[in-house]
Amino acid sequence: MITAHLPLLQTLFPNIDDWGELGQACVDTLLMLGASLLLTVLIGLPLGVLLFLTGKGQLHAMPKLYGALSLVVNVLRSIPFIILMIVLMPLTYVLVGTKLGIRGAIPPLVIGAAPFFARLVETALREVEQGVIEASQAMGASTWQIVRYVLLPEARASLWAGVTVTAIALVSYTAMGGAIGAGGLGDLAYRYGYLSYKSDYMVVTVLLLIALVQILQMAGDRIVAHYSRR
């Protein structure tokens, strides 16, 4: 697609030397986003469910466990992502064998975003009517059945809204990650746009990031609308 419009793009942004590199950066960003979003949901969803269930007045209220989980989540959320990434480097190396590139970016991305998503999950589940949970208990549902068949389906719309917000947060995290060697669009913007004064790179990457966020938000809104039943 990009190649078809190359002449036009080259006239618009004459200072971009290598469109192939830009294309690769797009792919890298999308890969980082996809992989980290998947892992964030896989970790954040159960964590959010656990936060919800152990919360005050809920099915398995456990104030101490809730307090501990809550503290960990808050600590991870209060560290700015760029610092979290640096702090986590040794752990990243142990986990994936490198601190750089897409692979090196994924552990900090997930560790940064999963607590955020878990909080969104907790909030979404709290919006499920208490009466519906009580009715399921009265029908003899186990906790697992309540989570699987009541909480998650009833909160579907809010959960998808949470995934959308998290995905958009991850886009900005990946761009930040670019500054310390993660690759992707943020890396290009930083290296060429900032360090080498090639403002065309900055403009194009920013436009691409805006487009990506727009697409994510629109897709998210459509899914949310589809699942809204109230």
Partner 1 sequence: MIRFIDVHKSYRVEGKDVPALEPFSLEIADGEVFGIIGHSGAGKSTLVRLINLLERPTGGRILVGDTDITALSDAPLRAARQRIGMIFQHFNLLASQTVVENVAFPLRLAGDKDTKAIRARADELLQHVGLSVHANKYPSQLSGGQKQRVGIARALANHPSILLCDEATSALDPQTTASVLDLLAQINRELKLTIVLITHEMDVVRRVCDRVAVLDTGRIVEHGAVADVFLHPKHPTTRRFVNEALPEEAAGERLPYEHVPGRIMRLSFRGEATWSPTLGRVTRETGVDFNILAGRIDRIKDLPYGQLTLAMQGANVDAALRALREAGIEVEELAR
Q: Which residues bind partner 1 (CB under 8 A)?
A: 129, 131-132, 134-142, 145, 149-150, 153-154, 156, 227, 229-230
Residue closer to partner 1 (CB basis): 5 or 226: 226
Q: How many residues does the chain have?
A: 230
Q: Give the shortest CB-180-to-partner 1 separation in angstroms.
A: 42
Residue closer to partner 1 (CB basis): 122 or 154: 154
CB atoms within 10 A of CB 23: 13
Residue closer to partner 1 (CB basis): 142 or 172: 142
Q: Give the shortest CB-220-to-partner 1 separation in angstroms.
A: 18
Residue carrying structure tokens 């640096």: 86
Q: Give the shortest CB-45-to-partner 1 separation in angstroms.
A: 17
Q: Give the shortest CB-102-to-partner 1 separation in angstroms.
A: 36
Residue closer to partner 1 (CB basis): 90 or 140: 140
Cα separation, 98 vs 108, in Å, equals 12
Q: Give the shortest CB-63-to-partner 1 separation in angstroms.
A: 14
Residue closer to partner 1 (CB basis): 28 or 154: 154
User: What are the helix and strand counts (H, E) for the chain?
Assistant: 12, 0
Cα distances from 29 to residues 36, 40, 79, 176, in angstroms, run 10, 16, 22, 11
CB proximity list for 45: less than 8 A, separation 6 or greater: 117, 118, 121, 159
